[in-house]
A and B are shown apart, each in its own frame.
Chain A
């Protein structure tokens, strides 16, 4: 019994049906972790990408080092670091929050590279025209560069969203009760692993298909030349 829900071991089908509600609770955690983690990745990644473009080397260079470090160390190491090391220094975060942060921070390194490629792809002539029209730097980014970069980066960001969904089981290592963790607990208690793990696999497939369909649809909806922002 988990979350007050009992499982039924009479037949494989009954077992599957009885544990599904438990796993759906886990799926909710998976979805929450992904959404929050991805929001962190989108925002922090943009900040990193912009800092890296600052003309001052004293800012751009350390930013590049941080991005490289985040990209080149395993998610699990970063997660354990946040979960086990930070509390020694008085920073104790709830497990889910730690997980969201780890996912978001690691993926911000990836998204920052996506943003960078998107920003670099903007035709220099666009920036020169905006300069000739005396637009401020903030205005240049907001109304000329970002609107044109967005449609170009959506597909790559979508790939990372799908990838992040598939990385969420890592959170089970720090006691977050997401889908895989719950499936494993059910397996440990019933000695039946096939059905819970199969259901978890199917639910992951469902989530990733939904996510990539949504991204594709968004990609087709947005005008290729750019999204007008006010």
Chain B
């Protein structure tokens, strides 16, 4: 049961940040931040570390609160309708939001005491109440998709980092999210393993219905898969546009400096 869409939400937006401010103590991570994503869009967030990119994902995943402003996902507000301040949402409301979002973490975060298969079916069985046999069948399908069907009975420690991250992607997909968040999915990987994870994400980018937000430092990859690239600095989007705009002819000085520093 989701609260009705509040007035002002354009129906063609799945994610909406309005004047959001997020502080960690004295540090302002998001500063009067506005941001919109339309369904199916593939958006890459780039920028120096500490510029607020990951915080956007973490707020969407309900892992982080914010102080002022409003955030909406699929018409659901991040504070309960009628509530005054941001994020006065009940656990139930938060869980409703989480049914629509999935996240892939930098450090994979697979459950080490469970087999690959169990990692994937745990939430669908426990949360979505999908019958176990059906969940297993779907999990194997997803493992096929990420090229790891033969590893279903392995434990995470028996897998390489790249394989673990591919399992983590399958695990997130098993919850059928409308929005999938990737928080530096290849940053923790040895260079030779980056490609296999990127190729899985690239395949997903062809799914029209899936909205994807990706935080990455891999500029070539960002260019390849995104509809839109947003350059973050000091808690704001300084510049955004198509990959060819941003990478080809960045207009802002800070974007130019950042791209020069990272491409060197």
**A residues in contact (CB < 8 Å) with B:** 123, 125-126, 128-137, 139, 143-144, 147-148, 223, 225-228
Evaluate contact between B155 and A133: CB separation under 8 angstroms: no
What are 17 A-B residue pairs whose CB atoms fall within 8 Å in the complex? A125-B105, A125-B109, A128-B63, A129-B109, A129-B110, A129-B111, A131-B62, A132-B98, A132-B103, A132-B105, A133-B102, A135-B127, A136-B127, A143-B126, A144-B111, A225-B112, A225-B156
How far, in angstroms, from A126 to B113 measured CA to CA in the complex? 11
Taking residues whose C-beta sits less than 8 angstroms from the other chain, chain B's interface range is 20 to 34
Q: A126-B109, A132-B172, A225-B113 are in contact. Are A143 and B122 (CB under 8 A)?
A: yes
Evaluate contact between B99 and A223: CB separation under 8 angstroms: no
Determine which of B95, B103, B113 lies in contact with A227 in the assembled complex, contact meaning CB atoms within 8 Å.
B113
- Which residues of the partner chain A approach B102 to less than 8 Å between Cβ atoms? 132-133
Question: DSSP majority for the A interface?
Answer: helix
How far, in angstroms, from A226 to B126 measured CA to CA in the complex? 19
Evaluate contact between B99 and A134: CB separation under 8 angstroms: yes
6 nearest A-B pairs in the assembled complex, by CB-CB distance: A226-B113, A129-B109, A133-B123, A225-B112, A125-B109, A134-B98
> Which one of B107, B111, B118 has the greatest number of beta carbons of chain A within 10 Å?
B111
- Which residues of the partner chain B approach A136 to less than 8 Å between Cβ atoms? 95, 126-127
> Which one of B98, B101, B102, B123 has the greatest number of beta carbons of chain A within 10 Å?
B123
- Which residues of the partner chain B approach A228 to less than 8 Å between Cβ atoms? 113-114, 118
Evaluate contact between A226 and B112: CB separation under 8 angstroms: yes
- Which residues of the partner chain B approach A148 to less than 8 Å between Cβ atoms? 112-113
Evaluate contact between B112 and A131: CB separation under 8 angstroms: no
- Which residues of the partner chain A approach B156 to less than 8 Å between Cβ atoms? 225
How far, in angstroms, from A117 to B175 measured CA to CA in the complex? 32
Evaluate contact between B127 and A133: CB separation under 8 angstroms: yes
Inter-chain contact count A-B, CB under 8 Å?
72
How far, in angstroms, from A139 to B126 measured CA to CA in the complex? 8
Interface residues of B in 63-104 (CB under 8 A from A): 63, 91, 95, 98-99, 101-103
- Which residues of the partner chain B approach A143 to less than 8 Å between Cβ atoms? 122, 126
How far, in angstroms, from A134 to B101 measured CA to CA in the complex? 9
Interface residues of B in 28-62 (CB under 8 A from A): 61-62
Report if B157 contacts A (CB, 8 A).
Answer: yes
Report if B171 contacts A (CB, 8 A).
Answer: yes
- Which residues of the partner chain A approach B101 to less than 8 Å between Cβ atoms? 132
Evaluate contact between B112 and A125: CB separation under 8 angstroms: no
Cβ distance B64 to chain A, nearest Cβ, rounded Å: 10
Having A128-B109, A133-B171, one finds 5 other A-B pairs with CB under 8 Å, namely A128-B61, A132-B103, A133-B122, A134-B98, A134-B127
Interface residues of B in 148-174 (CB under 8 A from A): 155-157, 168, 171-172
- Which residues of the partner chain B approach A132 to less than 8 Å between Cβ atoms? 61, 63, 98, 101-103, 105, 172
How far, in angstroms, from A226 to B110 measured CA to CA in the complex? 13
